Structures are given as structure tokens and as C-alpha cells.
Structure 1
Amino acid sequence: MLRLSPRIARIAPFYAMEVVKQAAALQAQGRDIVQMSIGEPDFTAVPAVVEALERTARAGRTQYTEAVGIAPLREAIAGFYQTRFGVAVDPSRIIVTAGASGALLLACTALVDAGAQVLMPDPTYPANRHIVTAAGGEPVLIPAGPGDRFQLAADHIRRHWTPRTAGVIVASPGNPTGTSIAPDALAELIREVRARQGFTLVDEIYLGLSYEGDRRSALALADDLIIVNSFSKYFHMTGWRLGWLVVPPQLVSVFEKLAQNLVICPSTLAQHAALACFQPESLDIFEARREAFRQRRDYLLPEFERLGLAVPVKPDGAFYIYSDVRAHAADSAAFATRLLHEAGVCAVPGRDFGTAETASYLRFSYATDMARLQEGVARMERLLR
């Protein structure tokens, strides 16, 4: 038996995947399951991206690229920040990565020493804390309830920062809650972290899927942040494994060195194909799809309230509803099993996302078409009433 690193024991299973496996087993038996579990858009890459991939492959452009990504893609991403978010970003600050997970791995390798603590909200996306653990750090989950919009706030930094704390990771909009941090609140949080000489990493992979007010990148607030983004959610390219970082100018060479050694380069084919995401006709499609997600959210919220699936904070982004199910069950994991086996609806129990009252919550994804969501609501109504 090989001896494993002790950090393996500190990385929990991804329970959402376990639920999905159960759903797949039922489907294999002929059951029809309404999927409201996985955070993957039902939309896929737009035609222009697929065509660009085909052209790139036929042209034989499959060799390694620069470790930080091809220059045209970095320039296109910078242009997107300017036109969509009104923020000027030097393309040299953009590091193209193997997905947002690859971006987080690079960031934690660069910023997290062995034993260093990283603050993040509870609930939070599980991979964020596990990547910190894999880098040798210690994730510190801080309970953040409905009164905090399930997000970290400046007061959390003041109360929980210790000599071992290296920085914070926040996501806006976040997974599993779909809630964002207000710009003034985020600015105050950044100031508190900066005063303690820590890093602030902002996960913005759902920023493009924001539904209320202006979509504002945290880059508008400060230029000493680490920003993570991805082509998976707004651009609907999950399996292409392509993301990016925006880093302060003085850290570009650091991240380039790490990328050269750890990943060589992101997928060449995916990089060239992703250039087509920024064509006007592609952006029009993405905006139409964003509106479709918003319509799904606006359909589900009153239906959930009607069914007693309370939503204490209205999600303003992503494609998740974080529902308090205490009116129906004391344990959300058991309730998720009941929904799956008795109603044929697959949702994710809160235990994936932390320990702070997560046994009371289910995460529902509305990354599926409206007809299936309506069927899911009808099934849950029959079960609950």
C-alpha cells in the first residue's frame, strides 16, 4: 500500500457527483430524472467557436503556445473588460489557464505557504477550499448567512484575521447561492485585507451571468487583486477547459514561471477557438442566453416560495437557487435523496458547500431548459403536497 500525503484526508468527496451518479443509475433503469444539480449550462459552444476549432485543427495549429496564452486571446479578453465592464486592463496582466480550476491552482501555488490560512465564506464552492488544501494551506470557512448575502464582509476580516492568515477568496456572483457582493462592501473588504498585507482573490466566473443592475468587475475597485474567470459559464465552453487570471503587473513573471513548469500551456485548439467568442454575433447569442437564464430564475423563485422551499436571499447571478428546506425536512441530504427517488428531481445537498447550517439547504441549478424546470416543479409539488 503506497503511503499517501495526509492532505488527502483533508479533501472531502464532491457529494454533488455522488448525487449525479445515483441519478445516472436511476436513468439507466429507465427512470426520467429532471436534472437540477450540476452547474453546467445546457447551452454549448456557439457555432462560430466550433467553426474556429475546425479551422484551427485542419490548419495543424496544435503545437505548444506561450505559457500565458496566445497574444490575440489575451488582447481579446482585455477588450472584453473594456467594452463590457468599462475597465481598462493591460493584456500583459492576463494569464490564460486550463480552466478556472487551473487558475486557482496557479494562484494558490504562488500565494499560499504551507500552513497559511485563507478565509472564505461558508457556504462556498468546495473546490476552492480543496485547492487551498492541495497547496498546503488551511481553508478557514467563516459562517456567512442570509444577513450577509452568504458572502464575506469587512467585519469578518476584522474578526477572523490571524497572524497565519494569508488572504481571502470570494466569489461574486457565488456558487452555491448565486448572490453577489455589493461594490461598496467589496471595496471595504479589499481595504481591510490590504491593510493586513494579504491577498484578495475574486472568483468572477459567473460575472457575465448577472441579472440585476450593472455588471461590475472587482477590477474597477482595485488593481492589486487576483481575478479568476473562465470560458465555462457565460461562454458555455465547460469541457474545453479554458480560463484566465488577471494579476497585478509585478506578479506576471511569477505566474508565467509557474505556468511554464506546471502546465506548459493551455489547450492550443481551445485558445484559438475561443477568439470567436468575442465576435459581435457570438456576444449577441451569449446575451440572449443570459436572458433565458434570468427568465428561468424569475419563473422558479415564486414557485419555490409557493412550495415552501424558502429562498432567503434572491440570487442575482449564476444559475443557482440556494433553498432553505427546513419546512419539509431536518436534513437536506435525506431530503435530496427523497426528491431524487420519489419525485425524480436531482438537486445537491448543502453539505458540499460547508458546515454552517448547510444541512438546511439544497442547491438547485436552473441550467436546464424551461420545460424541464416546469416538470421538476410539478413533480415536487405532487411530492410535497
Structure 2
Amino acid sequence: MMVAKRVRSVVPSKIRELFEKASKMEDVISLGIGEPDFDTPQFIKDAAVRALKSGETKYTSNLGILKLREAVSEKYKKEYGLEIDTNEILMTIGAYEAVYLAFQALIDEGDEVIVPDPAFPCYINDAAMIGAKSVRVPIKEENEFRLIPEDVNEKITRKTKMLITCYPNNPTGGVLKKEDYKGISEICEDSNIILLSDDIYEKIVYDYKPQCFKKYYDKTIITNSFSKTYAMTGWRVGFAVAEREYITPMLRIHQYVAACLNAPAQEAACEALRSDQRCVERMVNEYRKRRDYVVKRLNDMGLKTILPKGTFYCYPNIKSTGMSSSQLS
């Protein structure tokens, strides 16, 4: 079988492998994939139904429907004081596509991309597909899984093109301090590299107010989605926010990869942003209860686990078991 060289460098996802195994087993609670177990709030589903019934089923603008991009712009103005033009927002098929487009549009073969370790697997594989090198920066338990600016600085070379961050962090649940945001931004500016901030867990936080890298550094690409915040993983609604010099080449690829996001899902996402956010608060409150219970139980079992300040993950230290993560899974 003739397989393209770029595909041979892509490693199959262990997360998906475990997900498929668990789906075929009886009486198993699958913890193999990052998905809310809540249903999408009814008012969001109702908006999609209204769109279907009113004939909103055609192609949309490649960027996405204007009122949704306006709602995204309003969100960043309200929450972070940022002025985002609607032409600096690209609606994508989940945050997955937004990250993929950034790599395809802005990274060349031989470039280096700095990635926290551990990290979501798509960053490593998106780099591999275009022949770029992933340079890993360990995020450590003793630092509560923060990405330390000095550690980033040590990894920068003349080939470095981009830094990836994901905070609140998947898979550790760690968060950054304000000085981390500032320090990392200053390093990126001094080195003239792109900062891609994957912010899909920004609303799932506990006694913590997230910052936004774009407040500190213009060459930031925000990738985000509705999947985790609104329990909309299957809807596949995401977006990228960046200056036009980045959005324009990303859009050029998006036109031929996806053309546009499906119209009813965009209408539903607009309703999600512009309606009462108590549904998000209720889900986060439930996650908090589960977090407290799980972390206590793991620590009682002798598996040291730091209390996460974000996401719906925890990251136990399993060294005492003598097993690797794959063996334990």
C-alpha cells in the first residue's frame, strides 16, 4: 500500500485506542476521552432546531456566520477587554481544526515548535505531518504543572517558530500565574515567535480567574471551542482568534479543507454565547464536587495527586505502582 511519508510519521492516538476498547466492554466507566457527561443544554439544542426549521441549512461564509463572530468578539471584549475585529475570527470544525490550520499555514518543514510535556497528542502529530520538530518542555509536579518562562527560554533556538500552550492544562489540570502569562509573552516577543494558546478549558476553573495571552502579546493565536464549556463535543464548533496576518493564510487552507462549519451548529453556538451562562456554572460546580472526591480518594490510596485548579482532569503520580501509564491503563 502506498502511504504518504507524512502519514508514516503520525502516531495513532492512545486516547482513542483506549476509548475504542472501553466502548466494547460491559460495565466499564470509560475515562479514556476528555468529554463532559452532561447533555448539551436544551436552549442550545432548541436554537439548532429553529435553524433547521427556518431553512438555515446552506453554505455560510468561510469565516463563519457574522453574528456568531460578533458574539465571539463580544465575549473577548467583556471578559478580557480585547477589541477583536470579526475578520480576525475564523470558525472551525472544533479547536482541532483551528490548531491544524495554524500549523499548516504558518509552520514549515524543519521549523521547531515548543510543546509542554505532557501535552495533548495533536500538537506533536500536527508538527510531524509537516516535518517540523517538536521540542518538549517538561511541566513538573513540583511547580503544580505550570509552564515556567525560564524553561521555555532555554528551549528557544534560531529555528523556533511557535510555542504551544494549553491552560487550564490538559492533562494535568494545572493553571498559570499572572506572572507566567507576562513572562512567557515577553520571551515570545523577544524571540519573535508565534504563541498558540489553546484555551478550550478556560471556563472550567475552580477559585481561579484565567488570563488571556493576547492581552500581553499581539502575535498570539487563540484556539477555542464550545465542546467542553457547553457539553457540545459532537457539534464540532471551534474557532481561532488572531491578527489578519495569521487568519488570512489559515482561511485559505480552511476554504479547501472544510469550506465552512455547518450552519445550524453555528446558530446554536451563537445562542450559547449570548444566553444565560448559569448552565456552565452548574456543570462547573458538579465538576468541583467530583474533583474533590476523586483527588481525596486517590491520595488516600497512596497515589499523590495535586488538586487541579482547572479542567475536569486530575493527574496522579503513579510512580509508587511501578507501572507505566500504558500498563496501568
TM range (shorter): over 0.9
- The 10-residue stretch of structure 1 (271-280 or 236-245) with the greater mean CA deviation from structure 2: 271-280
Letter in structure 1 aligned against 2:317: D
Supply the distance in 2 between the matched residues of 1:165 and 1:57 (Cα, whole angstroms). Answer: 46
Residue correspondences, number: 329
Where in structure 2 are the equivalents of 1:326-345 lying within 5 Å?
Answer: 326-336=319-329
Aligned to 1:305: 299
> Contact (CA 8 Å) 1:153, 1:186: kept in 2 or not?
no
Supply the distance in 2 between the matched residues of 1:310 and 1:128 (Cα, whole angstroms). Answer: 28
- Report the Cα offset of residue 252 of structure 1: 3.5
> Contact (CA 8 Å) 2:199, 2:224: kept in 1 or not?
yes
Runs of 4+ in structure 1 deviating by more than 6 angstroms, as ranges, are: none
> Contact (CA 8 Å) 1:183, 1:218: kept in 2 or not?
no
> Contact (CA 8 Å) 1:297, 1:319: kept in 2 or not?
yes
- Report the Cα offset of residue 86 of structure 1: 4.2
**Secondary structure in 2 matching 1:119:** strand
Supply the distance in 1 between the matched residues of 2:65 and 2:324 (Cα, whole angstroms). Answer: 48
Counterpart pick for 2:198 among 195, 203, 213: 203
Where in structure 2 are the equivalents of 1:1-385 lying within 5 Å?
Answer: 1-2=1-2, 4-27=3-26, 32-281=27-276, 283-311=277-305, 313-336=306-329
> Contact (CA 8 Å) 2:147, 2:180: kept in 1 or not?
no
Letter in structure 2 aligned against 1:16: I
> Contact (CA 8 Å) 1:53, 1:272: kept in 2 or not?
yes
- CA RMSD of superposed structures (Å): 1.7
Supply the distance in 2 between the matched residues of 1:259 and 1:330 (Cα, whole angstroms). Answer: 42
> Contact (CA 8 Å) 2:145, 2:174: kept in 1 or not?
yes
CA deviations on 1:192-249 (whole Å, 9 max, x unpaired) are: 1221111110110000111122232222323321011001001111011110111024
Supply the distance in 1 between the matched residues of 2:44 and 2:135 (Cα, whole angstroms). Answer: 39
**Higher Cα Rg, which structure:** 1
CA deviations on 1:52-96 (whole Å, 9 max, x unpaired) are: 111111222111111111110011111122333444433332111
CA deviations on 1:8-52 (whole Å, 9 max, x unpaired) are: 23221211222223322321xxxx112233200011221111111
Output the TM-score relative to the length of structure 1: 0.81
> Contact (CA 8 Å) 1:120, 1:152: kept in 2 or not?
no
Output the TM-score relative to the length of structure 2: 0.94
CA deviations on 1:271-311 (whole Å, 9 max, x unpaired) are: 01111102433x11111111111121122211211111211
Supply the distance in 2 between the matched residues of 1:8 and 1:259 (Cα, whole angstroms). Answer: 20
Unaligned runs of 5+ in 2: none
Supply the distance in 2 between the matched residues of 1:258 and 1:183 (Cα, whole angstroms). Answer: 34
**Secondary structure in 1 matching 2:214:** helix
Letter in structure 1 aligned against 2:206: Y
- Report the Cα offset of residue 149 of structure 1: 3.2
Supply the distance in 2 between the matched residues of 1:157 and 1:164 (Cα, whole angstroms). Answer: 14
**Secondary structure in 2 matching 1:167:** strand
CA deviations on 1:107-126 (whole Å, 9 max, x unpaired) are: 11121011211011110011
